[in-house]
Amino acid sequence: MKFRLRIWKQASGDAAGAFSDYEVDGISPETSFLEMIDTLNERLTERGEEAVAFESDCREGICGMCSMVINGQPHGPLPGTTTCQLYMRHFDDGQPITIEPWRSGAFPVLRDLMVDRSAFDRILESGGYVTVHSGPKPEPNANPIDPEVAEESLDAACCIGCGACVAACPNGAAMLFTAAKVSHLGLLPQGQPERWERVQNMVEQMEEEGFGSCRNYAECEAACPKEISIKFIGRLNRDYLRALREPIDRHGPMDSQ
């Protein structure tokens, strides 16, 4: 197979970017999308040209590293699929393919197709946890959890933090990402003591990072490779409103020293 590629090239965060055109041929349908770009990069290197910088690690759809907007769609045309799980048999021979990085003010481009997603980490750091030290804990089976609840919690917890939701959102909102973590913990008994404080802190951090606000476009759900439901955004909103209504006395960092 043969493909005409238009790829976003940008030398660094401060540099201006532009599309470059490439052609790759001799690609078998069993090749993955990223292997197709690996092949392009090898050929570019052999010619003494700079390779296209992109992120990937697990190549199994779980680490959340790969992040390409393919023909206008984050992670490309297949629903519930990350870029690394796309295969060239999902494309037509000779098809033009445009590849861009995630586009969002909160995810500055570092180089070519690589962006800085550390804003997500800071949202998690602001409250995406249950405070527990390492050491002896109560017997878990003393506290049964309805399997439906555990499953729903896992539906939210399986977020891979790739950022496709932000890239897909016309407003660049990070609501699906934040809602997934808030719901994962908020559904479980272990998450209850810090539930209201958590949602408030995480929403505040999200706003501080410059993500847009949610206008219910639902593009995030459509782009999410883990098909996380926007019902969790409703859940976040309800929790957030309740947290605002009943302000909690927030304590400082846990003093364990």
Partner 1 sequence: MNLDDRVPEAPIEHMWSTHKEHLRLVGPRTRPHYRVIVVGTGLAGASAAASMAAMGYHVECFCFQDSPRRAHSIAAQGGINAAKDYRNDGDSVHRLFYDTQKGGDYRSREANVWRLAELSASIIDQAVAQGVPFAREYGGLLANRSFGGVLVERTFYCRGETGQQLLLGACSALAQQIHDGNVKMHTRTELLDVVIVDGRARGIVVRDLVTGEIRSHAAEAVVLATGGYSNVYYLSTNAKGCNVTATWRAHKRGAGFANPCYNQIHPTCIPVSSEHQAKLTLMSESLRNDGRIWVPRNEGETRSPGEIPEQDRYYYLEERYPRFGNLVPRDVASRNAKNVCDDGLGVGPSRLGVYLDFRDAISDHGHEVIGARYENLFAMYERITGESPWKTPMRIYPAPHYTMGGLWVDYNLMTTLPGLFAVGEANFSDHGANRLGASSMMQCLADGYFIIPITIGDYLSRHPYGDIDTSHAAFADAEREARGRIERLLAIDGSTTVESLHRELGRLMWDHCGIARSEDGLREALARIPELRDRFWNDLRIVGGAAGINQSLEHAGRLADFLEFAELMCRDALQRDESCGCHFREEHQTEEGEALRDDVNFSHVTVWEHTGENVEPKMHEEPLSFEALPLAQRNYKT
Residues 184-223 that bind partner 1 (CB under 8 A): 184-185, 188, 190-191
From ligand FES, partner 1, none, which one binds at residue 66 (CB under 5 to 8 Å depending on kind)?
Answer: ligand FES
* Closer CB to partner 1, 21 or 148, in the complex: 148
Q: What is the DSSP letter of 118?
A: H
Distance between CA atoms of 225 and 107, rounded to whole angstroms? 18
From partner 1, ligand FES, none, which one binds at residue 82 (CB under 5 to 8 Å depending on kind)?
Answer: ligand FES
Which residue's structure tokens are 């680490």? 63
* Closer CB to ligand FES, 212 or 225, in the complex: 225
Q: What binding mask, one character per residue, do residues 126-165 give for partner 1 by CB under 8 A, x or -?
A: x-xxxxxxxxxxxxxx--xxxx--xx-xx--xx-xx----
Of these, 22, 120, 232, 240, which contacts partner 1 (CB under 8 A)? Answer: 120
Q: Which range, of 22-30, 98-106, 164-172, 235-243, touches partner 1 by CB under 8 A?
A: 22-30
Per CB under 8 A, does 241 bind partner 1? Answer: no
Residues 76-95 that bind partner 1 (CB under 8 A): 78, 81, 85, 87, 89
Per the CB < 8 A criterion, the answer to whether 83 and 162 are in contact is no
Beta strands in the chain (DSSP E): 3-9, 18-24, 69-70, 73-74, 96-100, 109-111, 114-115
From partner 1, ligand FES, none, which one binds at residue 44 (CB under 5 to 8 Å depending on kind)?
Answer: partner 1
Per CB under 8 A, does 62 bind partner 1? Answer: yes
Of these, 2, 19, 23, 28, which contacts partner 1 (CB under 8 A)? Answer: 28
Query: Residue 122, SS3?
Result: helix
Per CB under 8 A, does 117 bind partner 1? Answer: yes
For 56-79, b where at least 16 C-beta lie within 10 A, e where not — what string?
beebebbbbbbbbbbeebbbbeee
The least distance separating partner 1 from the CB of residue 42, rounded to whole angstroms, comes to 5
Give the chain's end-to-end CA distance (angstroms, integer). Answer: 62
Distances (CA, A) of 143 to 160, 188, 190, 201: 28, 11, 10, 28
Per CB under 8 A, does 50 bind partner 1? Answer: yes
Taking the CB of residue 19, how many other CB atoms lie within 10 A of it? Answer: 12
Per the CB < 8 A criterion, the answer to whether 235 and 179 are in contact is yes
φ and ψ of 18, to 5 deg: -160, 160
The least distance separating partner 1 from the CB of residue 109, rounded to whole angstroms, comes to 11
* Closer CB to partner 1, 45 or 95, in the complex: 45
Of these, 1, 4, 17, 63, which contacts partner 1 (CB under 8 A)? Answer: 63
Interface residues with ligand FES (CB under 6 A)?
Answer: 56-59, 61-66, 82-84
